[in-house]
Structure 1
Amino acid sequence: MICFPNAKINLGLNIVSKRDDGYHNLETVFYPIMIKDALEIIISERQEQDSFIESGLKTGVSSENNLVMKALKLMRAHYEIPFLDVHLLKKIPFGAGIGGGSADAAFMLKLLRNKFSLDATDAQLSALAAQLGADCPFFIYNRPCFASGIGEVLENVDLSLEGYYLMLIKPDINVATKDAFALINPAQPEVSLKEIIKKPVSEWKDLMINDFEKSIFAKHPAIEQIKLKLYALGAVYASMSGSGSSVYAIFNKKTDLKHHFADCYVWEQE
């Protein structure tokens, strides 16, 4: 059985407060985009152990540390699952702030449920997904959501970017999470993202921010230059996604701008 985990972007990202456990409470809107990996599971004929093959983009992560195999181990702690041959074709760029690894983990949970007809609700899978990563629960539902807490508390929002054209640029830059938090001063936003997304996209530029941009742009000015360039090329709205390093843009119409970013990974909505 095969599935196709997709990525997400963050529409706004506000760091609200520091938690006692060392994490930060945040507010963001997760929005799915169709950059996809492929994940396949087959029941192992030998039934001696699981096997894992990764192709496509090389993450450099060992099989036991890959979130896909961690998801399998977690499900096996709750359900009887035979040994499997697992193949992950990696197309979503990693270190991009678009949740590729989290998507793979969450889709693995759903794939196992479907393959073996497991009695597990979305809510139960979401609770398991939260043990794998803060934004993993989003991919269980995989629809526009307002997220709070550390990203695991989800609320459906009525939002569609149909009629717009999305583009995502990822430079050859890796952003460390600690760098992303370096200059963050947690604060409640003046206007909730739930209110901002109700406004026309043309008004988002002056209202919707990603709190990580300040510290990341200071350390990696090339990422800020990508954002500025996207605006110069006609984007209605542009922002870094998550803690970077990718930047996405929303255009009013389909465009062909790949040649402007020859040294970067570029995804354009079909």
Structure 2
Amino acid sequence: MSKELWISNSYAKINLGLNVTERLENGYHTIETGFVFIEWSDRFEVTPANHFELDMGESRIPIDDSNLIVKAIKLLQEEAGLKDQYRIKVTKNIPAGAGLGGGSSNAATTLRMMNKISNLGLNEEDLMKLGKKLGADVPFFIKGKTGLGTGLGTEIEEMDIQPANWIVTVFPDIESSTAEAYQFCEPATPEFSLRNLLLEEEPEEWRYLMTNDLEKAVFPRLHLIGNLKDQFYEFGAEYASMSGSGSSVFGIFQQDFVAINAYESFHNLGFKTNMTRPGFSPDMGIYRKEVD
């Protein structure tokens, strides 16, 4: 007898610029940043089950209450009436602790898939409200559209800012502590409007105008990340930056053969490396199959 199998992809993001504008009394920070997608994704396969089961495919990834997928399931059970049970198998490709939003993306994919499969009837706004309880980046991944993130990063102004350039992303296999990155950064009023930079300036100008404020807090402690950024410029990137609080670094390239050379060079050095096509748009679909 056949049974349902539901499939979807969970995509990573990078930050185009990241301005830390204020440190709040509760310890959080207000930011502004450009969220765009890269072609680095995890694959979700969901089947009905007698009890909830999570298979991350890697023993070093916890599957307890610290996992954002588990947190998303429990949140839906408590606040949206989720009663059905499923087995969720995740093929992990996005590195953990990389500043690429892999955990947040997984949480968003879980919310979207469970809402559709179990007919919970939640709209996008409902899902985004739930997502905010799981992490600052989660609403962006639920929306599935590029945009400017402000406030705590949860307010997303939809903007067409996906670069019409090749993006090469490198994970140096070290973890950068988000808490420490924000602890050691100095909030400031941005010199230039990030919105204007992303909408009006070409990527070759970003190098001189756009910053990730967390780099100053991270590079002195983790030299390899700063070295990777320098290496991108040596390989001919028009713009390079750390993504989020690290540790991944990306470069933006105008020409495909220059991007391919950078990709192959980092890959041959043993780094996990990804290349994203110009104007990439993620497939956020949830697909159903019948399996034996």
TM-score by length of 2: 0.87
Give the alignment of 1:72-151 within 5 angstroms: 72-77=73-78, 78-151=80-153
Structure 2 Cα separation of the partners of residues 252 and 69 of structure 1? 40
Contact 1:59 1:94 in 2 (8 A): no
Following superposition, the deviation at residue 43 of structure 1 comes to 1.1
Structure 1 unaligned regions, length at least 5: none
**Residue equivalent to 1:14:** 19
Contact 1:15 1:187 in 2 (8 A): yes
Structure 1 Cα separation of the partners of residues 192 and 114 of structure 2? 40
Give the alignment of 1:20-31 within 5 angstroms: 20-31=25-36
Aligned: 1:233 with 2:235: yes
User: Quick one: which of 246, 261, 272 aligns to 1:265?
Assistant: 272
**Residue equivalent to 2:282:** none
Structure 2 Cα separation of the partners of residues 68 and 183 of structure 1? 30
Following superposition, the deviation at residue 219 of structure 1 comes to 0.6
Following superposition, the deviation at residue 114 of structure 1 comes to 1.4
Deviations 1:231-250 (A, max 9, x none): 01110110000000000010
Secondary structure (helix, strand or coil) at the match of 1:38 reads: strand
Structure 2 unaligned regions, length at least 5: 1-5, 278-292
Give the alignment of 1:152-231 within 5 angstroms: 152-162=154-164, 164-198=165-199, 199-231=201-233
Deviation above 4 Å: which 4+ runs of structure 1?
none
Contact 2:161 2:198 in 1 (8 A): yes
Secondary structure (helix, strand or coil) at the match of 1:238 reads: strand
In structure 2, relative to structure 1, the CA distance for the partners of 1:69 and 1:168 (3 Å cut) is same
Structure 1 Cα separation of the partners of residues 218 and 207 of structure 2? 18
Counterpart code for 2:203: V
**Residue equivalent to 2:280:** none
Structure 1 Cα separation of the partners of residues 197 and 261 of structure 2? 28
Contact 2:39 2:275 in 1 (8 A): no
Structure 2 Cα separation of the partners of residues 188 and 124 of structure 1? 32
Structure 1 Cα separation of the partners of residues 252 and 60 of structure 2? 28
Deviations 1:86-139 (A, max 9, x none): 111111011110100000000110111111222111111000001001111100
Aligned CA RMSD, in angstroms, stands at 1.4
Contact 1:41 1:84 in 2 (8 A): yes
Contact 2:54 2:63 in 1 (8 A): no
Contact 1:166 1:268 in 2 (8 A): yes
Counterpart code for 1:118: L
Following superposition, the deviation at residue 184 of structure 1 comes to 1.1
Q: How many residues align?
A: 265
* Larger RCO, structures 1/2 (Cα 8 Å, 6+ apart): 2
Aligned: 1:42 with 2:54: no
Structure 2 Cα separation of the partners of residues 232 and 134 of structure 1? 33
Structure 1 Cα separation of the partners of residues 123 and 203 of structure 2? 34
Following superposition, the deviation at residue 259 of structure 1 comes to 4.2
Structure 2 Cα separation of the partners of residues 59 and 108 of structure 1? 20
Following superposition, the deviation at residue 54 of structure 1 comes to 1.1
Deviations 1:178-236 (A, max 9, x none): 32124311112121210111211111101110001011110111111111111011101
Structure 1 Cα separation of the partners of residues 224 and 91 of structure 2? 29
Counterpart code for 1:12: G
In structure 2, relative to structure 1, the CA distance for the partners of 1:59 and 1:143 (3 Å cut) is farther
Identity %: 34
In structure 2, relative to structure 1, the CA distance for the partners of 1:58 and 1:169 (3 Å cut) is farther
Contact 2:168 2:263 in 1 (8 A): no
Contact 1:58 1:90 in 2 (8 A): no
Counterpart code for 2:271: C
